[in-house]
Amino acid sequence: MPKNTSSKKSNQTDANIIAARIGVIAAVITLVGTVATAIFGYMSVRAPIELSIQATQTAEAKTLAPVSATGTKPGTAATTTNTAKPAPTIVVPVSLTPTTANLLTIGQDLKSKCIGDKIWIPYSSLQTNQNRESKNGCWQLVELGLAAEAEGLLITRQTAKEKGTFGIVAPISETAVIEVTVKVEKLYGSVLKFGILSGTKPDKTLKGALLNVYDEGGVVLRALDNNEETNVDQALIPCYPGVYSFRFELTKIRLNTVRYGGTCNDGTDISKVVAYQSVDVYFPNRNLFIGYETREGSIVQAQILNLNVQSK
């Protein structure tokens, strides 16, 4: 009986040890499965994120990579086909720089060696001189005897072949103060003209008021009605040739003219204010005219040194 009892206890102890070992192994296997599951779960979440990051980085690298004139990145060969989606075109607004003539006012353009095509309108009484050419915002009027130089507007015509009136016209406000200085070098059978016109081209209904400067220093104020001039007042400049300054006061109903300065070529100062009579100007559209009149064989050489127009 004792031996049997001992043998049973030994067998039971061995069974308990085996069961314990099996339990440990099962626990280890369970732990390994849990860890493996966690790792696979983490990788399944991380993989799409990494792929998304890599795709974004690749796109950014392609976008930021410099492109050559041929459309390829440096270090790569140009291909005839391109399956990639073209990059959007970026339109950069271009700042338009207006021409110098467009920024200037009446008179300033002449001192800048330009007869501004946005300021002046060429004037000619001859149909043969109607074609005009503009270059860089400036009229080219050599055929009319007009050119802009550093000192202002040059008026010159050597031995005119026919009679005509030539010049430039600029629209101005209804009321204004106009000052002009003219240097007369030679007037032979020709007349310098300054004043106000109702239109910008010659026609039978043209109205206005003109101050005419003749050779030997004669100055005549004339009214213009239906393109016909009538004397209003006249005077004689004390010396000739020389530099003469005139001032016009334009109101709603008349043009007042004043000669307020001058210097003879011999240096004599004739700066004496002389007022001329007024000329009625009822027309609302007013245009400043600067030019001259010639006849066959006449000569004109003069310069507009200073021209200033201020609206009142």
Largest CA distance in the chain: 171
Lowest mean pLDDT among 33-42, 171-180, 301-310: 33-42
Is the pLDDT assigned to residue 48 strictly greater than 60?
no
Q: What is the pLDDT of residue 287?
A: 97
Q: What is the pTM of this model?
A: 0.67
Q: What phi and psi, each to the nearest 5 degrees, are found at residue 297?
A: 85, 0
Q: What is the pLDDT of residues 169-184, one digit of tens each?
A: 999 999 999 999 999 9
Q: What is the pLDDT of residue 22?
A: 61
Is the pLDDT assigned to residue 303 strictly greater than 70?
yes
What is the C-alpha separation between 86 and 73, in angstroms, rounded?
Answer: 14
* Mean pLDDT within 286-310: 94
Pick the CATH number of 100-311 from 2.30.29.30, 3.40.50.1000, 2.60.120.560, 3.40.50.720: 2.60.120.560
Nearest CA among 141, 125, 309, 298 for reference residue 214: 298
Residue 155: helix, strand or coil by DSSP? strand
Lowest mean pLDDT among 83-97, 151-165, 166-180, 247-261: 83-97
Contacts of 69 (CB under 8 A, 6+ apart): none
Structure tokens at 150: 């550093």
Q: What is the pLDDT of residue 60?
A: 37
Q: What is the pLDDT of residue 165?
A: 93
Residue 189: helix, strand or coil by DSSP? coil
Is the pLDDT assigned to residue 91 strictly greater than 60?
no
Split at pLDDT 50, 70, 90, the class of 2 is very low
- Find the Cα–Cα–Cα–Cα dihedral 25, 29, 30, 33, rounded to 10°: 170
Q: What percent of the chain has pLDDT over 90?
A: 44
Residue 268: helix, strand or coil by DSSP? coil
What is the C-alpha separation between 223 and 210, in angstroms, rounded?
Answer: 6
How would you write 275-308 as a 3-class SS string? ECCCEECCCCCEEEEEEEEECCCCEEEEEEEEEE
Contacts of 50 (CB under 8 A, 6+ apart): none
Q: What is the pLDDT of residues 199-215, one digit of tens each?
A: 998 888 999 999 999 98
Q: Which residue has the tokens 């009319």?
A: 144
H or E stretch covering 23: helix 2-64
What is the C-alpha separation between 138 and 149, in angstroms, rounded?
Answer: 12
* Mean pLDDT within 224-245: 90
**Which residues are 233's β-sheet partners?**
221
For CA atoms 32, 38, 42, 44, the dihedral sign is positive
Residue ranges per structural domain of the chain: 1-65, 100-311
Q: Could you write out the DSSP letters of every residue in 74-123? A: TTS---S---SPPPPPPPPPPPP---HHHH--TTHHHHTT--BTTT-EEE
What is the C-alpha separation between 224 and 207, in angstroms, rounded?
Answer: 5
